[in-house]
Chains A and B, each alone.
Chain A
């Protein structure tokens, strides 16, 4: 999984963590300030953790996700965990749609991405939460049965939508979004049906305006989601315009 992600430049945890020294250097003054606060004024230490250098953009009002070329949201229909057809474009129309391709046996990227989004959604006011649809498309339909997919997603948030389809179709959808195809990494099962699936590590976000698109690579922190989701929900125009 990690090799695949790195190969495609999709972000890997190790890369993210190793970016620390560079980031830390530029944060010397902030680090000293936090240290002073922790020593002399304990209550001042309470914060939201957003001052940890996870920002990707300097401008205070910009998005922390990577802004992509604008385009219409993808038009596809897959089957949800209840066996009903789910028309992505129609069902998410007018909402923020967070689209992720992954699988429930994923040991690292998928649960971290889903847990981060779910944790932040729980903190958002209902009127904003209601404007956000999280859609998880399995890249491992053989093992991700509807029940398993539903149970796994519900561990994060019962409102997350799980979609299944044929691998050919799923890869076609990913190709349309400039994502690499998902591939089974182990040629032969290691233990029973134990294998890993290489897939894109980032979450794609579609704003309610129908055109703005952003990508959130692995390494996106809860602070980033907390910063961006309300702005995305409120976005009616392209960023910077």
Chain B
């Protein structure tokens, strides 16, 4: 039994496989949230929004476990990309939406300082895109996806980078009052542009770039080149879909806040 999905080299089969490492991770995150949420409630503040957090956990579980996890780790680049979209873009904002404003506060001052630096919008945007590029380099993919530990590292890098990237957008912090809705919209629009390089590289490469997927036992006769093109398109379209949904929501919130301000002004 494998604890985490990795390239196996054997023919794909729809026989269910257990990946206990995925269950442990999801359970640990859920337990950590439950424990933290109890503390948030006791201090009289908001208890957060467990529904969002649970939705994020379900998304994470679906992305990492069989069959998506197994197909994405060793068979299809397109499913690998779907995993990235889910783990790096869909799951993090859901997890963060479950956390009440002003939380979490890290106990160690150094950790808190590091987290503050990493979640500065410009730093977060750069970190996120550096992780995207590095984790999609052929040499990195082919090296890491061959082992469970390597595959785990890629998945966790996506999750950590996604949380860092979404943090300034989702978690309003009192110490960052200048990063309002217009800047958040600009931040996300910029993010839709920056990954163009990776998209172009995958979609328009003449030959398959990943040995892992090119040499994997075929799944339903999908050719390595078609699979890679779909992966590239999925990166662009999937990322754009998520980011533009968020941009639309931000626009709405921005409009609402302006209206509230106007109505307050009129009343005053």
A138 at the interface (CB under 8 A from B): no
- Kindly report which residue of chain B lies nearest to residue A120, judged by CB atoms: B207
CB of A72, distance to nearest CB on chain B (Å): 32
List chain A residues, Cβ under 8 A from B23. none
For window 1-29 of chain A, which residues contact chain B by CB distance below 8 Å? 2, 12-14, 16-18, 20-21, 23-24, 27
Main DSSP-derived SS at the A contact region: helix
A39-B129, A53-B139 are known contacts. Are A17 and B215 too (CB-CB below 8 A)? yes
List chain A residues, Cβ under 8 A from B224. 115-116, 119, 222
A202 at the interface (CB under 8 A from B): no
For window 205-228 of chain B, which residues contact chain A by CB distance below 8 Å? 205-209, 211-212, 214-218, 221, 223-225
Decide if A47 touches B201 in the complex (CB within 8 Å): yes
CA A54 to CA B199, docked complex, whole Å: 22
Binary CB contact string for chain B from 173 to 207 against chain A (1 if under 8 A, 0 otherwise): 00000000000000000000010111111001111
CA A97 to CA B196, docked complex, whole Å: 41
Decide if A46 touches B200 in the complex (CB within 8 Å): yes
Q: Which of B5-13, B63-71, B253-261 contacts A (4 or more CB under 8 A)?
A: B5-13
List chain A residues, Cβ under 8 A from B143. 20-21, 24
- Kindly report which residue of chain B lies nearest to residue A220, judged by CB atoms: B215
For window 87-140 of chain B, which residues contact chain A by CB distance below 8 Å? 129-130, 133-134, 136-140
Decide if B215 touches A221 in the complex (CB within 8 Å): yes
For window 173-210 of chain A, which residues contact chain B by CB distance below 8 Å? none
A17-B7, A35-B137, A41-B197 are known contacts. Are A115 and B218 too (CB-CB below 8 A)? yes
List chain B residues, Cβ under 8 A from A27. 139
B interface size (C-beta, 8 A): 41
Residue from B7, B139, B198, B223 whose CB has the most chain A CB atoms within 10 Å: B139
A226 at the interface (CB under 8 A from B): yes
Decide if A24 touches B214 in the complex (CB within 8 Å): no
Decide if A38 touches B133 in the complex (CB within 8 Å): yes
CB of A49, distance to nearest CB on chain B (Å): 4
CA A31 to CA B141, docked complex, whole Å: 12
> B9 touches which one: A30, A41, A48, A108 (CB < 8 A)?
A108
CA A24 to CA B7, docked complex, whole Å: 17
List chain A residues, Cβ under 8 A from B155. none
CA A39 to CA B225, docked complex, whole Å: 23
A24-B140, A111-B217, A218-B215 are known contacts. Are A123 and B206 too (CB-CB below 8 A)? yes
For window 35-83 of chain A, which residues contact chain B by CB distance below 8 Å? 35, 37-39, 41-43, 45-50, 52-54
A142 at the interface (CB under 8 A from B): no
B26 at the interface (CB under 8 A from A): no
A240 at the interface (CB under 8 A from B): no
CA A226 to CA B143, docked complex, whole Å: 23
CA A52 to CA B143, docked complex, whole Å: 11
List chain B residues, Cβ under 8 A from A221. 207-208, 211, 214-215
Decide if B9 touches A12 in the complex (CB within 8 Å): yes
Residue from A17, A18, A111 whose CB has the most chain B CB atoms within 10 Å: A17
Decide if A37 touches B197 in the complex (CB within 8 Å): yes
List chain B residues, Cβ under 8 A from A115. 218, 223-224
Decide if B212 touches A108 in the complex (CB within 8 Å): no
List chain B residues, Cβ under 8 A from A125. none
List chain A residues, Cβ under 8 A from B142. 17, 20, 24, 52
A223 at the interface (CB under 8 A from B): yes
Decide if A108 touches B217 in the complex (CB within 8 Å): yes
A162 at the interface (CB under 8 A from B): no
A124 at the interface (CB under 8 A from B): no
New A-B contacts (7) at CB < 8 Å, excluding given A38-B201, A47-B201, A49-B209: A30-B139, A42-B196, A50-B207, A115-B223, A116-B224, A119-B225, A221-B215
**Residues of A that sit less than 8 Å from B by CB:** 2, 12-14, 16-18, 20-21, 23-24, 27, 30-31, 34-35, 37-39, 41-43, 45-50, 52-54, 107-108, 111-112, 115-116, 119, 123, 155, 218-219, 221-223, 226
Going nearest first, the 6 A-B pairs with the smallest beta carbon separation are A107-B11, A45-B201, A42-B197, A20-B143, A49-B207, A108-B217
